[in-house]
Amino acid sequence: MDFFNYNNGQLFAEDLSVKELAEAFGTPLYVYSRATLERHYRAYADPLANQPHLICYAVKANSNLGVLNVLARMGAGFDIVSAGELERVLAAGGDPARVVFSGVGKQVGEIRRALSVGIKCFNVESIPELQRIDCIAEEMGLRAPVSIRVNPDVDPKTHPYISTGLKANKFGIGFELAREVYRQAAAMQHIEVVGVDCHIGSQITQIDPFLDALDRLLVLIDQLAEDGIHIRHLDLGGGLGVRYNDETPPLPTTYIEALRQKLGNRQFELVFEPGRAIAANAGILVTRVEYLKEGQEKHFAIVDAAMNDLLRPALYNAWQAIIPVTEHPDGTTRSWDIVGPVCETGDFLGKDRELTLKPGDLLAVRSAGAYGFAMASNYNSRNRPAEVMVDGSERYLVRQRESYEQQMAGEFTLPGQ
């Protein structure tokens, strides 16, 4: 559910016309809805209201300061995977004590910074990382709070590029090894074991893989208790899918209820790391048709957004809805491939879309709030788009369109002739 709806044939973002936003800020343009972000956050928070919990929004999905700020104001925690994401959380008013730090390659400086601001927990993904954190905490005269990210070896039944909880994936510590790694962690002087963590993949549209993972974690948690290791929180990661087309992912409340049934009366703080479920359908990418190029086999609508602005179609062959910003009958009705100006055959936003188009039309790519701008690049030396947050009838520019000067800042030609 979102707040991007038609009113008299015009697409609106909450109370504002998307056409007017495009005219004011230019295209390509990311438009986010504050009400949708808040609704999606509450979809997790409300069913958890009666128990200790923390919803750590996965910053990687959309790390714009405006987005982080909206969630920080709601009391969200944050799941980060780099010091850059940590700095963004701090700049957006996030509470470091509500930050969990995931990722397989945490560097020394990143660990130091996270310890110095007092994050909630490191989700540790290997033994060498655990040892590194122990050493750094010793140098700093601290104890580092950790969970081990357990790889439960379950198949999340999603795109192979975004499944993370299989033995073959680089993430986490194998289920069979986890008990031993916890023993080592508990014996380290500068480590404090606080939780158990897992994250099995992204865009998961069924509950079963999550429940299978939880079964395995509960076995481990019982073994840890036998070893005298009592955890305070259980972090089940993110990964809940969203509707892009005809998927029917479970609602957060259904998912949470199913987990609760399995948990019975065990008393942990429950931690979640949703990214896509909060941000994807809270954003659209608005783009303008530059040219219509009709051919014998294929018809192309060449638009001003490209794979550098929204990579998911090119990278995963992902399908995202593409809809007119202004519904109108004039134009050419065809099955169009919606493509960008980048010099790659894979540069498309959508294929075979039945639309009535004329040059100059505005289109909106839906479900673009997660892994949209966050994965944007300057490929083909294109400036990255602007981002706007709509809040009722107010709008806020939350990132200005990049300029050529900004794009080249920090680059130099060689000295001399």
Ligand X SMILES: Cc1ncc(COP(=O)(O)O)c(C=O)c1O
Q: Which of 121, 135, 198, 343 is catalytic?
A: 343
User: Binding of ligand LYS at residue 162 (CB under 6 A)?
Assistant: yes
- What string marks each residue from 46 to 75 as x (binds ligand X by CB under 6 A) or -? ------------x--x--------------
What gap in Å lies between CA 395 and CA 34, rounded to an integer? Answer: 10
Compute the CA torsion angle 15, 44, 164, 259 (nearest 10 deg).
-150
135 is catalytic: no
Q: Is residue 275 part of an annotated ligand binding site?
A: yes
User: Binding of ligand LYS at residue 104 (CB under 6 A)?
Assistant: no
User: Binding of ligand LYS at residue 40 (CB under 6 A)?
Assistant: no
Select from 22-30, 108-116, 237-245, 309-317 the region that touches ligand X (CB under 6 A). 237-245
In angstroms, what is the minimal distance from the CB of 147 to ligand LYS? 17
**Binding-residue total with ligand X (CB under 6 A):** 16
Could you give the angle at the alpha carbon of 44 between the alpha carbons of 35 and 271, nearest 5°?
A: 130
Mapping DSSP onto H, E and C, the string for the chain reads CCCEEEECCEEEECCEEHHHHHHHHCCCEEEEEHHHHHHHHHHHHHHHCCCCEEEEEEHHHCCCHHHHHHHHHCCCEEEECCHHHHHHHHHCCCCHHHEEECCCCCCHHHHHHHHHHCCCEEEECCHHHHHHHHHHHHHHCCCEEEEEEEECCCCCCCCHHHECCCCCCCCCEEHHHHHHHHHHHHHCCCEEEEEEECCCECCECCCHHHHHHHHHHHHHHHHHHHCCCCCCEEECCCCECCCCCCCCCCCHHHHHHHHHHHHCCCCCEEEECCCHHHHHHHEEEEEEEEEEEECCCCEEEEECCCCCCCCHHHHHCCCCCEEECECCCCCEEEEEEEECCCCCCCCEEEEEEEEEECCCCEEEECCCCCCCHHHCCCHHHCCCCEEEEEECCEEEEEECCCCHHHHHCCCCCCCCC
User: Binding of ligand X at residue 125 (CB under 6 A)?
Assistant: no
Residue 286 binds: one of ligand X, ligand LYS, none (C-beta under 5 to 8 A by kind): none
User: Binding of ligand LYS at residue 158 (CB under 6 A)?
Assistant: no
User: Binding of ligand X at residue 172 (CB under 6 A)?
Assistant: no
Q: Tokens 């992204």 — which residue?
A: 202
In angstroms, what is the minimal distance from the CB of 71 to ligand X? 13
In angstroms, what is the minimal distance from the CB of 26 to ligand LYS? 25
User: Binding of ligand X at residue 126 (CB under 6 A)?
Assistant: no
Q: Is residue 344 part of an annotated ligand binding site?
A: yes
Q: Is residue 183 part of an annotated ligand binding site?
A: no
Select from 70-78, 88-96, 207-215, 233-241 the region that touches ligand X (CB under 6 A). 233-241
Considering beta carbons, is residue 268 or 373 the nearer one to ligand LYS? 373
What gap in Å lies between CA 140 and CA 352, rounded to an integer? Answer: 58
Select from 25-33, 272-280, 315-323, 408-416 the region that touches ligand X (CB under 6 A). 272-280
User: Binding of ligand X at residue 273 (CB under 6 A)?
Assistant: yes
- What string marks each residue from 305 to 344 as x (binds ligand LYS by CB under 6 A) or -? -------x--------------------------------
Q: Is residue 238 part of an annotated ligand binding site?
A: no
In angstroms, what is the minimal distance from the CB of 243 to ligand X? 14
Chain positions contacting ligand LYS, by CB under 6 A: 60, 162, 202-203, 312, 371
Binding residues: 239, 273-276, 312, 316, 344, 371
Binding residues for substrate: 276, 312, 316, 344, 371
Chain positions contacting ligand X, by CB under 6 A: 58, 61, 79, 102, 164, 199, 202, 237-240, 273-277
Which residues form the catalytic set? 343
Binding residues for pyridoxal 5'-phosphate: 239, 273-276, 371
